[in-house]
Amino acid sequence: MMDPRGVPVSYEDITALEDYEAALLQLHRFSYDPTPAMESVIVSHPDFALAQIFCAVCIASGSAGRYVPEMEAAITRAEEIGNLNEREQGLIAAVRKRCAGDWRGGQLAIDAVLARYPRDTLALHFGHQLDFLLGDALNLRGRIERILPHWDDSNPNYSHVLGMYAFGLEECNMFEHAEAVGKEACERDTGDTWAHHAVGHVIEMMGRHEDGIAWYEGRESNWATGDGLSIHNWWHLCLYLMEEENYPRILEIYDAYIAPGGDAEPEPLADSGALLWRLMVQGVDVGDRWVANGDRWRQLIADGEGGFYGFNDLHAAMSFAALGWGEDLADLEAKAIAQAGQSHTLGEISREVSVPVVQGITAYGQERFEDALDLLNAVRPVLARFGGSNAQRDVVDQTMLSAAIRGGLGERAVSLANERITRKPHGPLARRFAERAHAVN
Q: What pLDDT does residue 441 have?
A: 76
Are 23 and 107 found together in one domain?
yes
Are 107 and 24 found together in one domain?
yes
CATH code assigned at 246: 1.25.40.10
Where is the domain boundary, 258, 274, 302?
Answer: 258
Quick check: 78 and 110 in contact, CB under 8 A? no
- Give the chain's domain count: 3
Are 208 and 305 found together in one domain?
no
CA quadruple 403, 408, 411, 412: dihedral, nearest 10: -10
Quick check: 395 and 364 in contact, CB under 8 A? no
* Cβ atoms within 10 Å, residue 394: 17
Kindly state whether residue 441 falls inside one of the protein's structural domains: no
Quick check: 30 and 194 in contact, CB under 8 A? yes
Are 8 and 130 found together in one domain?
yes
CATH code assigned at 31: 1.25.40
Kindly state whether residue 86 falls inside one of the protein's structural domains: yes
Kindly state whether residue 416 falls inside one of the protein's structural domains: no
Quick check: 318 and 274 in contact, CB under 8 A? yes
Are 254 and 267 found together in one domain?
no
Distances in Å between the alpha carbon of 5 and those of 13, 90, 147, 148, 153? 16, 18, 13, 13, 11
Quick check: 250 and 242 in contact, CB under 8 A? yes
Contacts of 338 by beta carbon, 8 Å cutoff, 6+ apart: 307
Q: Residue 330: which H helix or E strand, with range? A: helix 326-340
Q: What pLDDT does residue 203 have?
A: 97
| Biggest distance spanned by C-alpha atoms of the chain | 71
Predicted confidence pLDDT, tens digits, the chain (441 residues): 999 999 999 999 999 999 999 999 999 999 889 999 999 999 999 999 999 999 999 999 999 999 999 999 999 999 999 999 999 999 999 999 999 999 999 999 999 999 999 999 999 999 999 999 999 999 999 999 999 999 999 999 999 999 999 999 999 999 999 999 999 999 999 999 999 999 999 999 999 999 999 999 999 999 998 778 999 999 999 999 999 999 999 999 999 999 999 999 999 999 999 999 999 999 999 999 999 999 999 999 999 999 999 999 999 999 999 999 999 999 999 999 999 999 999 999 999 999 999 999 999 999 999 999 999 999 999 999 999 999 999 999 999 999 999 999 999 999 999 999 999 999 999 999 999 999 997
Reference 84, options 3, 9, 5; nearest CA is: 9
Kindly state whether residue 176 falls inside one of the protein's structural domains: yes
Q: What pLDDT does residue 410 have?
A: 95
Kindly state whether residue 167 falls inside one of the protein's structural domains: yes
Radius of gyration of the chain from its Cα atoms, rounded to whole angstroms:
22
CA quadruple 208, 212, 213, 218: dihedral, nearest 10: 140
Q: What pLDDT does residue 352 have?
A: 97
Kindly state whether residue 286 falls inside one of the protein's structural domains: yes
Tell me what percent of the residues of the chain surpass a pLDDT of 90.
Answer: 98
Are 281 and 364 found together in one domain?
yes
Q: What pLDDT does residue 31 have?
A: 87
Q: What pLDDT does residue 281 have?
A: 97
Q: What pLDDT does residue 247 have?
A: 98
Kindly state whether residue 424 falls inside one of the protein's structural domains: no
Identify residue 364 by its one-letter amino acid code.
Y
In whole angstroms, give the CA distance from residue 346 to residue 63. Answer: 11
Listed in order, strand segments (DSSP E) in 317-430 are none
Where is the domain boundary, 134, 152, 185?
Answer: 134
Listed in order, strand segments (DSSP E) in 341-433 are none
Quick check: 223 and 196 in contact, CB under 8 A? yes
Are 313 and 220 found together in one domain?
no
Are 332 and 241 found together in one domain?
no
Kindly state whether residue 423 falls inside one of the protein's structural domains: no
Are 305 and 329 found together in one domain?
yes
In whole angstroms, give the CA distance from residue 101 to residue 13. Answer: 35
In whole angstroms, give the CA distance from residue 196 to residue 219. Answer: 9
Contacts of 152 by beta carbon, 8 Å cutoff, 6+ apart: 158
Are 245 and 179 found together in one domain?
yes
* Cβ atoms within 10 Å, residue 411: 11
Contacts of 174 by beta carbon, 8 Å cutoff, 6+ apart: 141
Three-state DSSP state, 8: strand
Are 309 and 180 found together in one domain?
no
Q: What pLDDT does residue 102 have?
A: 98
In whole angstroms, give the CA distance from residue 313 to residue 328. Answer: 11
In whole angstroms, give the CA distance from residue 12 to residue 48. Answer: 9
For residue 40, the 8-state DSSP code is H
Q: What pLDDT does residue 239 have?
A: 98
In whole angstroms, give the CA distance from residue 162 to residue 167. Answer: 9
In whole angstroms, give the CA distance from residue 58 to residue 75. Answer: 12
Where is the domain boundary, 134, 165, 192?
Answer: 134
Write out the residue range of the structural domain in which residue 223 sits.
Answer: 137-258
Listed in order, strand segments (DSSP E) in 222-364 are none
Quick check: 204 and 212 in contact, CB under 8 A? yes
Are 383 and 289 found together in one domain?
yes
Q: What pLDDT does residue 225 have?
A: 83
